[in-house]
Chains A and B, each alone.
Chain A
Amino acid sequence: MTSTAATIPRSSLFDRIMVVAMGRWQPLFIGGVTLILSLIVMGLCALVAGANPVTAIVAIFEGALKGRYEVLATLAEFSAISLTGLAVLIPLRTGFFNIGGQGQVELGALAAVVIGLFVTAPGWIVMIIALLGSLVAGALAAVVPLFLRVQRGASEVTTTIMMNFTCVLFMYVMVTGPLKDPKAFYGTTKLVSTAVRLPTLFEGINAGVLIALGVAVLMYLVGRYTVFGLQSTAVGCNRSAALAGGIKVDRVMVTAVLIGAAIAGLAGGVQILAFSFRVAEGWSKSWGFQGIAVGFMGGNPLGVLVVAFIFAILETGSRNMQAMTGVPAALVSLFQGLPVLIYVGLQAAIRISRWKTGAGRSRRRVVVTR
């Protein structure tokens, strides 16, 4: 028998890097490439706008990370985006697309404000009730799409988008109507009192950030070590097999969606109690939509944290870039869309190329025949 591989090729540095990069750390690697490509595009746009691209890119990082105030602002965004990312990720594991995050955030925020303004009790008790209330409100926002999916088989892609706008507009109705601060000339509620707000801990970092981190870690543990977590993965991978295996598929999915939506509501509640203290026309950013990208790109709760942090950097940094270099504010939206396209594209391209070559494993095996 002739040997087809007489010598074992020495693996080059490139090979070793690629093995690691395409393996467990693939999301990170793709994320890095995405970031670099996005920054290049941003630089080009800055050039077109007549600004110095290097200054513009530097302004992004400075605006996000240089200085205590900047880092705190980035962490504030991070706490929202990481939670909305989890809100998409957890239902996604069971095969449910939760795109209604924005609406769930708004409802959760509304609940937190209402409880904060109208419940009389010692400050920290109201705070706890408000956070719990935002969890419930977020979950409530998912009830209708859930019902329509389970009972009517309606695709949740539509229903969650519809619910999104319904919730946001409902919040606007409340804020321009019954809950409106009579002294204001646009739709806004009064500020929640200081006693009710989330405390600032060490170095100015707010408890809200820690809540976000805690929830992510919790979800990671739940996903890997609890029955529910494993069942979710099973349901998502192969629904009929899970059903055949005795898992109550519907119940698992419903639970996952409610948990996810509740987390989105919590994101709203945390933003209110930690950073914004009231809801108004124009109070929020597009955390819900960013969460969709983050949830997809993150892959698992810890990955969500990383991606959310990068998104937060882009968010606060690009606003600084606009203010400092005169590059149009429009690029902020570009920053939210383009990296997602690049990332998703790269991920899919790699998946397809691996699939096409039939290499299901990521590690290269060296075959020696004698």
Chain B
Amino acid sequence: MIIVRNKTWIVTVVLLLVALLGLAVAGCGSTTTTADPATTTTGAAKVKAGMMFSITNPPKAGGWDRADWVGVQYLKNDLGWEIAVAEGVPYPQTAGTAAGYAEKGYNPVIFPDAGQSEAFKSVPAQYPKTWFVMMSAVDALPDAPNAAAWVPDFYKYGNMVGIIAAKATKSGKIGLIGGVPVPALVILFSGAIEGAKAVNPNVEVTVSWVGDWVDLPKHKEVTNLQVQKGVDVIFADSGPGTTGVFEAAEAGNAKVIGFAADWYDDAPNAILTSALIDAAKMYKQMAEAFSNGTLKKQIYPCGFDFFRAAPFRGSVSAEVEKDITDTIAKLGSGELKIPEVTHEEINPQ
């Protein structure tokens, strides 16, 4: 029997062992995870991409996130990319997360949210060996050469939304609801106002900002206020909070145009249609450029060929539906010209 006089050193030894164990686990982990580049069937090194969403549950969250998620699935399943997705990253912490990915050797680092433009502009310069791509609207690229952006023409998209809303409304009052007033959204709403006015000069447009992407009761309240003013068609670009918009719209017999993805299954009674954005196509293009090495520092515009309206499923009469589809076609072909006006007055900043 060993008589231990000084108990302290037992504990110190135990502590050291625990610490070593922890570090060993961390160190050994590399041999069991797929951190080493694996080869795909084509023989190219496996691509490790990192991206971060500002909300949680991207596959079921807001319209934009769902649309992007289709693109993410394409990268994962069709191309075999390894994608690490961080969820629920608030805007001020995006830069840190992006830098973290770059540090760990992820390439490219993808920003799916226009609200992340701050991080997109500040991080690339620090990691010249990593490509940073913004898959949403941004007003300018950062100074560094390793950044590119796929920018949907949100103004044209807004035109389309405005046309649908103005043609479908019976009360002559339409509403636009946005989550956070990101610049892309201001452009989108400006396009919607102009598009609506182009087909119905007397239409009344109400713009409301909720202030965040997630607070359900708040979204419902804001929508209520619009519905009480007589608005009967609403376009909502407000992330996961859109559920609140649906509730209020349904209660008030108003219809909602969904953003970017097909929202029909979420609220069959409230949805008029959804203005779809083919984000998956954007991701396809980005992946191709990256893999072929043709990715350049530039803004890749995504024009009207990325937009279309989802099936109406009988939410409006057949003739109204035809009218809308025809007008959208005219917009796409250029026959219908809508002036480009940015309505800064709707920006609460």
Contact = CB atoms under 8 A, between A and B. Distances in A.
Q: Do chains A and B touch in the complex (CB under 8 A)?
A: yes
B41 interface: no
B90 A283 contact: yes
Contact of A280 (B50, B92, B182): B92
A69 B100 contact: yes
A337 interface: no
A61 B32 CA distance: 14
* Chain B interface SS verdict (over half): helix
A282 B18 contact: no
Contacts of A282: 90-93
27 contacts: A11-B1, A16-B4, A25-B11, A54-B32, A55-B32, A57-B25, A58-B29, A61-B22, A61-B26, A62-B33, A65-B22, A69-B104, A182-B349, A184-B118, A185-B115, A186-B115, A186-B180, A278-B92, A280-B92, A282-B90, A282-B93, A283-B90, A319-B86, A322-B87, A328-B56, A328-B87, A330-B56
Given A281-B91, A323-B50, A329-B88, 9 more contacts: A10-B1, A16-B4, A20-B10, A23-B7, A59-B33, A62-B29, A278-B92, A280-B91, A329-B87
A28 interface: yes
Contacts of B32: 54-55, 58
Q: Which of A28, A32, A62 has the most CB of B within 10 A?
A: A62
Interface in B7-28: 7, 10-11, 15, 18, 22-23, 25-27
A278 B118 CA distance: 13
Contact of A58 (B11, B25, B86, B183): B25
Given A10-B1, A185-B181, A323-B84, A61 B25 contact: yes
Contacts of B10: 20
Interface of B: 1, 4, 7, 10-11, 15, 18, 22-23, 25-27, 29-30, 32-33, 50, 52, 56, 84-88, 90-93, 96, 99-100, 103-104, 115, 118, 180-183, 349
A89 interface: no
Interface string A147-179: 000000000000000000000000000000000
A323 B26 contact: no
B11 A20 contact: yes
A67 B181 contact: no
B26 A58 contact: yes
A276 interface: yes
A25 to B, nearest CB: 5
A73 interface: yes
A67 B104 contact: yes
Contacts of A354: none
Contact of B29 (A10, A66, A185, A329): A66
A55 B349 contact: no
Given A185-B182, A186-B115, A66 B30 contact: yes
